[in-house]
Amino acid sequence: MAHELLTGRTVIVTGAGSGIGRATAERVAAEGGRVIAVDISGDRLSALHGLIGDDAAFVAGDLADPGTIDAVIAAAGDGADGLANIAGIMDGFEPTAEIRDETWDRVLSVNVTAMMRLTRAVLPGMLARGAGAIVNVGSEAGQRGSAAGTPYTVSKHAVNGFTLSTAFFYTPQGIRCNAVAPGPVATNIEAPFHSEWAQQRLGPIMQAAIPAIARPEQLAAAIVWLLSDEASDVSGAILSVDGGWAAI
């Protein structure tokens, strides 16, 4: 039988209902892992249930709500060996002068605060076992100022800082923390342009600089590798998985 990368591991996957999260949940299951799938959409989780079956657990809820974090930890039972913080939302491409408070608050609370709370909640179990792997999904928007509106750009830079700080504090205890930074990926993420100025400013850059659109499975492959022991000496990395965009 082929070697499976995550046999016997319990892995929490957020945003598992769609896009990169769904591809990751499927790949974790294919690699022998037990998936704790989390998404705000119960319908999407039902569809995933059809794909990865009864061995997985499914938690429908808004990760910005601390009650959802509690439900995820309860579903993980004895604790999680891996955590993939993938759920995230875009802004409306608002530049700084046009930021709406509700966009700022929602983007930061889903992309940053929820990631922090869930990671904080899984760490005691990982520390007790002296092992764990955490993978956060950042973005090429976390590496530059020209790939999104200001709220999303800020949130993805924060993902990088959170990844580095967590890796710094806990790698000596056997817990690895890394991020992947995707370029454009074909998913269901909504990215409406709410700003004429952003359209003018970003439009030409995006047309000129952005590489080919990736498939979610290409991101899942990198995430699963970072979750696995194959990446046993990798911690604190921000891995660009972006068709070479970071090199431009």
Ligand X SMILES: NC(=O)c1ccc[n+]([C@@H]2O[C@H](COP(=O)([O-])OP(=O)(O)OC[C@H]3O[C@@H](n4cnc5c(N)ncnc54)[C@H](O)[C@@H]3O)[C@@H](O)[C@H]2O)c1
Site for ligand X, residues 125 to 164, rule: CB under 6 A: 137, 139
Site for ligand X, residues 216 to 235, rule: CB under 6 A: none
- When binding is defined by CB under 6 A, the residue of 11, 107, 108, 110 that contacts ligand X is 110
170 is catalytic: no
Report yes or no: 112 and 165 within 8 Å, Cβ to Cβ: no
From 2-10, 62-70, 125-133, 198-206, span contacting ligand X (CB under 6 A): 62-70
Smallest gap from Cβ 186 to ligand X, in A, equals 7
Phi and psi for 13 in degrees, rounded to 5?
-125, 115
Is 21 among the residues that bind ligand X (CB under 6 A)? Answer: yes
From 48-56, 80-88, 94-102, 121-129, span contacting ligand X (CB under 6 A): 80-88
Smallest gap from Cβ 226 to ligand X, in A, equals 14
Smallest gap from Cβ 17 to ligand X, in A, equals 3
Smallest gap from Cβ 3 to ligand X, in A, equals 27
Is 115 among the residues that bind ligand X (CB under 6 A)? Answer: no
Catalytic residue chosen out of the listed positions 56, 114, 135, 152: 152
From 24-32, 35-43, 167-175, 221-229, span contacting ligand X (CB under 6 A): 35-43
Catalytic residue chosen out of the listed positions 9, 22, 156, 157: 156
3-state SS track over the chain:
CCCCCCCCCEEEEECCCCHHHHHHHHHHHHCCCEEEEEECCHHHHHHHHHHHCCCCEEEECCCCCHHHHHHHHHHCCCCCCEEEECCCCCCCCCCHHHCCHHHHHHHHHHHHHHHHHHHHHHHHHHHHHCCEEEEEECCHHHCCCCCCCHHHHHHHHHHHHHHHHHHHHHHHHCEEEEEEEECCECCCCCCCCCCHHHHHHHHHHHHHHCCCCECHHHHHHHHHHHHCHHHCCCCCCEEEECCCHHHC
Query: Which positions touch ligand X (CB under 6 A)?
Result: 15, 17-21, 39-41, 44, 62-64, 86-89, 110, 137, 139, 182, 184-185, 187-189
Which residues are known to be catalytic? 152, 156
